[in-house]
């Protein structure tokens, strides 16, 4: 499964980053690179069946503590 993730992101990298690099749009390049790193990390973790904690639980805990329900 993670092989598909690697191939998919390699192709996406060529499609997205090469034009930005050629155009020298460095701000767009680095912001996109940051997002791509987050996206790739999560995709890789999902592909190797790592359970990622959901942010919904944290919000749930805060709301329960505020409303007292």
Partner 1 sequence: MVKITDKEAICIVVLFLLGGSIVIGTGIEVKNDAWIAGILGIVFFVPFALIYARIQAIYQGRDLFQIANLLFGKVVGTVIIAVYTWYSFHLGALVLRNFGEFANITTLNDTPLIVILLSFSIITIAAARSGIEVIGRISTYALPLVIFVLVFMEVLSLKQMKFNYIKPIFVNGFQRIAEAGFTVFSFPFAESVVFLGIFYSLKKRDSAYKVYLTGVFISGIILITLTFVNTFILGPVVQDFYFPSYSSFSRIRLGNFLQRMEGTISVSFAVTCFIKSSVCLLVACKGISAIFNLSDYRFITIQAGLIMTYLAYIIYDNTVEMTDWALNIYPYYAIPFQIIIPLFIWIWAEIKNRRKDSNDKGR
CA-nearest of 33, 31, 28 to 13 is 33
Spatial distance between the Cα atoms of 16 and 8, rounded to a whole number of angstroms: 12
Given the complex with partner 1, which of 3 and 67 has the nearer CB atom? Answer: 67
Going from the C-alpha of 58 to that of each of 21, 44, 68, the distances in angstroms are 38, 23, 15
Out of 10, 14, 18, 35, which residue is the one contacting partner 1 (CB under 8 A)?
35
- Told to check if 16 binds partner 1 by CB under 8 A, we report yes
Residues that bind partner 1 in the complex, under the rule CB under 8 A? 12, 16, 20, 25, 27-28, 31-32, 35-36, 38-39, 42-43, 46, 52-56, 59-60, 63, 66-67, 69
């Amino acid at each position: 499964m993670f092989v598909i993730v690697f191939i998919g992101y390699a192709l996406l990298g060529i499609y997205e980053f090469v034009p930005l690099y050629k155009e020298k749009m460095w701000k767009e390049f680095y912001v996109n690179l940051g997002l791509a790193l987050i996206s790739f990390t999560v995709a890789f973790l999902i592909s190797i069946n790592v359970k990622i904690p959901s942010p919904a639980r944290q919000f749930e805990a805060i709301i329960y503590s505020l409303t007292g329900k």
